[in-house]
């Protein structure tokens, strides 16, 4: 099977980032497909099952054919923020927040090619080309990438927008389509393009850029209504997520146990999550699979029965069946593939610049 993200796709991506500048280094081959050295050296390429895991630091990724997944990532750390651009084949990212932590983040993205569908408890939004939105680790959501999509934006700590946590709790949302939003999107694209070519960076310029990025994000969020109290449904869902996080490793933990911990009936619990993207049983299973995935990669390796016990499955056959059905590989095949390809790109969106430098 040939690559979907061909040189022509990469060239078009770079042209969009550069604003079509002739000096962007695309001349020299038929069709203008030559790529400048700084770009090819900076882009992180990811593909297949492992590529999805490496890019899935923010939620759980799925695709119709995981083996055919491809992504390219360009990113630049600017203090506490990360400028990024991704070119990705179709997939969906589903996120169910754990208990609130100091590491909560917000990804602000500008759709430049293809499109995305944002699904939350509040409904579905289409983020078409030219629109801007966010995805937050403070709320549950699913983001479906339609076709080959390109998103450029910035990752910031959730603490950077403390007055809008009620908005972040939605999980994902579109920003109003205003001159401010459009100008902010264009500026993020240009800043990433400029900083990607500056490997050293003047410390004062970096600090100034970080301050400006945080100010831009705060300005975008000020377009939403002001802070207000969190509604009871959101509070109850957050409480359920905390219980699932705390107890999913217990094989006896189920929906009845969740209802008992929340002091509500099964009927009340199901009503609480009515209309959401994922059933309660699926949420618990997904969290167990995420833990099993991590346990399979521990060193020294654990036997499959131990992995099952530590991730909430009753036994190894149950883990094997669910892992194959939802991950697409057996646990042993997943472990072999992951360990035979060192995960130097794991959690690629948040890697430090030092971690992304190629080995000499």
* Residue partners of 338: CB distance under 8 A and separation at least 6: 50, 53, 296, 297
CA-based angle 293:244:59, to the nearest 5? 50
End-to-end Cα separation, the chain, in angstroms: 31
CB atoms near residue 173 (< 10 Å): 21
pLDDT, one tens digit per residue, over 308-345 is 999 999 999 999 999 988 888 899 988 887 766 544 33
* Residue partners of 165: CB distance under 8 A and separation at least 6: 138, 158, 227, 230
- In 37-167, which ranges are E strands? 44-47, 60-62, 70-78, 81-88, 91-95, 105-120, 123-127, 132-136, 141-157
pLDDT, one tens digit per residue, over 259-316 is 999 999 999 998 888 776 678 888 899 889 988 988 888 878 899 999 999 999 999 9
Give SS3 for 208.
helix
Against a cut of 0.75, is the pTM above it?
Answer: no
Domain limits, CATH 1.10.10.60, in the chain: 232-340
CATH architecture of 232-340: Orthogonal Bundle (1.10)
- Rounded to whole angstroms, the Cα distance separating 351 from 187 reads 23
CATH architecture of 7-221: Sandwich (2.60)
Q: Cα Rg for the chain, rounded, in angstroms? A: 21
Give SS3 for 6.
coil
CA-based angle 39:143:272, to the nearest 5? 155
Domain limits, CATH 2.60.120.10, in the chain: 7-221
**b/e 106-139 (16+ beta carbons within 10 angstroms → b):** bbbbbbbbbbbbbbbbeeebebeeebbbbbbbbb
- Rounded to whole angstroms, the Cα distance separating 359 from 22 reads 32
pLDDT, one tens digit per residue, over 72-121 is 999 999 988 999 999 999 999 888 876 655 578 899 999 999 989 999 88
Class of residue 26 by CB neighbours under 10 A (exposed 0-12, middle 13-18, buried 19+):
buried
């Amino acid at each position: 099977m040939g690559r979907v993200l061909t040189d022509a796709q990469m060239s078009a991506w770079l042209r969009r980032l550069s604003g079509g500048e002739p000096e962007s280094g695309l001349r020299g081959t038929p069709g203008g497909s030559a790529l400048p050295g700084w770009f090819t050296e900076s882009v992180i390429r990811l593909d297949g099952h492992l590529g999805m895991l490496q890019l899935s630091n923010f939620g759980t990724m799925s695709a119709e054919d995981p083996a055919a997944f491809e992504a390219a990532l360009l990113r630049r750390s600017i203090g506490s923020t990360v400028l990024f651009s991704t070119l990705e084949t179709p997939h969906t990212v589903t996120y169910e927040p754990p208990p609130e932590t100091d590491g909560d983040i917000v990804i602000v993205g500008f759709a430049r090619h293809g499109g995305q569908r944002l699904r939350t408890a509040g409904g579905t939004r289409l983020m078409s080309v030219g629109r801007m939105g966010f995805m937050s680790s403070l709320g549950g959501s699913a983001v479906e990438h339609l076709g080959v999509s390109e998103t450029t934006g910035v990752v910031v700590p959730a603490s950077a927008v403390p007055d809008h946590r009620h908005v972040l709790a939605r999980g994902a949302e579109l920003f109003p389509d205003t001159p401010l939003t459009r100008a902010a999107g264009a500026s993020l694209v240009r800043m990433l393009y400029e900083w990607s070519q500056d490997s050293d960076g003047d410390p004062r310029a970096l600090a100034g850029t970080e301050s400006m990025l945080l100010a831009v994000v705060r300005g975008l969020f000020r377009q939403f209504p002001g802070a207000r109290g969190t509604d009871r449904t959101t509070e109850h869902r957050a409480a359920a997520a905390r219980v699932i996080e705390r107890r999913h490793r217990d094989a006896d933990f189920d929906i009845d146990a969740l209802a008992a911990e929340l002091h509500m009936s099964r009927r009340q619990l199901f009503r609480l999550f009515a209309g959401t993207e994922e059933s309660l049983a699926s949420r618990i299973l997904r969290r167990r699979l995420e833990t099993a995935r991590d346990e399979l990669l521990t060193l020294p390796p654990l036997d499959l029965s131990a992995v099952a016990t530590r991730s909430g499955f009753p036994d190894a056959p149950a883990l094997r069946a669910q892992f194959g059905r939802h991950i697409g590989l057996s646990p042993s095949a997943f472990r072999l593939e992951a360990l035979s390809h060192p995960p130097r790109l794991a959690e690629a969106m948040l890697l430090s610049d030092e971690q992304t430098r190629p080995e000499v």
